[in-house]
Amino acid sequence: MKDSILVVEDEKALRETLVYNLVREGYEVDTSVDGIEALEKARRENFSLILLDIMLPGMDGFEVCRKLRAEKNTPILMLTARDDEIDRVVGLEVGADDYMGKPFSMRELLARVKAMLRRVRLMQEENKPAVVEPPSKEILQFSDLTIDTIRREVRIKEEILDLQPKEYDLLHFLAINRGRALSRDKILEEVWGWDYTGESRTVDVHIRWLRQKIEIDPAQPKRLITVRSSGYRFDG
């Protein structure tokens, strides 16, 4: 399912530019041109994130944010032409999650949107039943696939596979959670760590490399399964 974003901006040119770039990034986008309409839409729909201008007709962004934050936890990124420290402080105090002053780099805005959505997904993952690593086993055996956790070696039958360190870490994490669908964000967090700032496509690339090494037919994997709209699952 695509992330949905509500763009609340009364300046037509900027609104259209935001919509164009967000849609190009794969997001579903709705718009509002005044604060009252924005509040109604935000209450009615479950948006993944809201881009909220401060200077709006009908009701300003501060009031929209304050009212909405009392009801929902939708992430809010505030936008304003008034690059004033007081505005930033007030915006954060009424419940905004981040703040950008105009003019801003579209590239930076898209990066912040992506980071905010990723944080939300990680928090959602944390609220699910925890991924618990079972008691450590020196040898994990899956048919003809053997993972030696002491030597950090992977063998198929008796042949030792040439895995890069992150390929091993990824395979080991998936293996100890055999049969469980794991999101790309959860994999990034556990295998690459919280401070990793690269693309989630990194997971896809490493999965592809692993399939080439452990699958009989990488095009029709039997061990590393893609879970649609979620991530990956190791079936052994």
- Write 110-115 long-range contacts (CB < 8 A, 24+): 110/21, 110/22, 110/25, 112/77, 113/5, 113/22, 113/25, 113/27, 113/49, 113/51, 113/77, 114/25
pTM reported for the whole predicted model: 0.54
Return the number of other C-beta atoms located less than 10 Å from residue 157's C-beta: 8
pLDDT single digits (tens) 49-90: 999 999 999 999 999 999 998 888 899 998 887 656 666 667
- Return the SS3 of 28: strand
Over range 143-166, report the average pLDDT.
92
Whether residue 103 sits in one domain with residue 72? yes
Whether residue 121 sits in one domain with residue 93? yes
Q: Which of 62, 95, 126 is the last residue in one of the domains?
A: 126
Is 188 part of any domain? yes
What is the spatial distance between Cα 173 and Cα 151, in angstroms, rounded to a whole number?
Answer: 16
Count: domains in the chain: 2
Is 98 in contact with 108 (CB distance < 8 Å)? Answer: no
Residue closest to 216 by CA, chosen among 136, 156, 155, 147: 156
pLDDT single digits (tens) 97-153: 888 888 888 999 999 898 888 887 777 666 655 454 554 568 999 999 999 998 899
Residue closest to 186 by CA, chosen among 138, 227, 236: 227
Whether residue 114 sits in one domain with residue 23? yes
Over range 22-50, report the average pLDDT.
95
pLDDT single digits (tens) 174-193: 999 999 999 888 888 888 87
**Radius of gyration of the chain from its Cα atoms, rounded to whole angstroms:** 22
Structural domain harbouring 206:
139-234
Is 133 part of any domain? no
Amino acid at 122: L
Give the model's confidence band at 210: pLDDT under 50 very low, under 70 low, under 90 confident, else very high.
very high
What pLDDT is recorded for position 126? 61
Q: Which of 100, 126, 152 is the last residue in one of the domains?
A: 126
Residue closest to 28 by CA, chosen among 12, 52, 48: 48
More reliable by pLDDT, 19 or 102: 19
Whether residue 158 sits in one domain with residue 68? no
